[in-house]
Chains A and B, each alone.
Chain A
Amino acid sequence: DSGVTQTPKHLITATGQRVTLRCSPRSGDLSVYWYQQSLDQGLQFLIQYYNGEERAKGNILERFSAQQFPDLHSELNLSSLELGDSALYFCASSSSSDTQYFGPGTRLTVL
């Protein structure tokens, strides 16, 4: 158990819809990262927050957005969903050591 929690575990929705994925980092970690992993693909870095502020941006689509709240939990919002957005979405957190601790992921299926 990494100490990072993600909800929901599974999500099934239709094209065009909007969903919100939630992540709670390990206690004391200020950084939260979001990744997308499609079937048999590598991890694609989406975005990173540090203590509420956006720190780095990766291959995140304009239809996707994220935020980190004062209690340090983070949410990833995915809108106008397309079939190709079906994937595992991982959240990770880290402290100053840069070692990332990953959550169990949210499996999103867009039908």
Chain B
Amino acid sequence: LAKTTQPISMDSYEGQEVNITCSHNNIATNDYITWYQQFPSQGPRFIIQGYKTKVTNEVASLFIPADRKSSTLSLPRVSLSDTAVYYCLVGDGTNAGKSTFGDGTTLTVKP
């Protein structure tokens, strides 16, 4: 079971780039890294997924170093609406359901 560690909270200002790092020291060879965003009283929403190096989509970028023991979610030019909890999840893609959500990082974006 891959355990993840993230900062409990982060503050930022509108227009800044935000980087949230997740540690997953015992990631397995077949594990993917997936990030989710959750607003209060809503279900988590998929943001981005990667296996190694860098992945970019219209919302965020995900940086994964060669040893894959950590990953960094990068949100460019955040706005107030990006205030949410961000979860890093590590799983092996075999539907084993053994990856677990940690406590997440509460990002607060200020005007």
Contacts and interface: CB of A to CB of B under 8 A. Distances in A.
Contact of B93 (A90, A98, A107): A98
Nearest to B103: A42
Given A42-B104, A55-B96, A56-B98, A98 B43 contact: no
Contact of B97 (A2, A4, A45, A88): A45
A99 B102 contact: no
A2 B47 CA distance: 12
Contacts of B102: 42
Nearest to A102: B43
A31 to B, nearest CB: 5
Contacts of A92: 43-44
Given A55-B96, A98-B91, A98-B94, A88 B46 contact: no
Contacts of A88: 41
A31 B95 contact: yes
Instruction: Tell which of B32, B43, B92 has the most Cβ of chain A within 10 Å.
Output: B43
Nearest to A43: B101
Contact of B42 (A35, A100, A105): A105
Nearest to B30: A98
A107 B94 CA distance: 30
A68 interface: no
A47 to B, nearest CB: 8
A64 interface: no
Given A98-B32, A98-B95, A45 B100 contact: yes
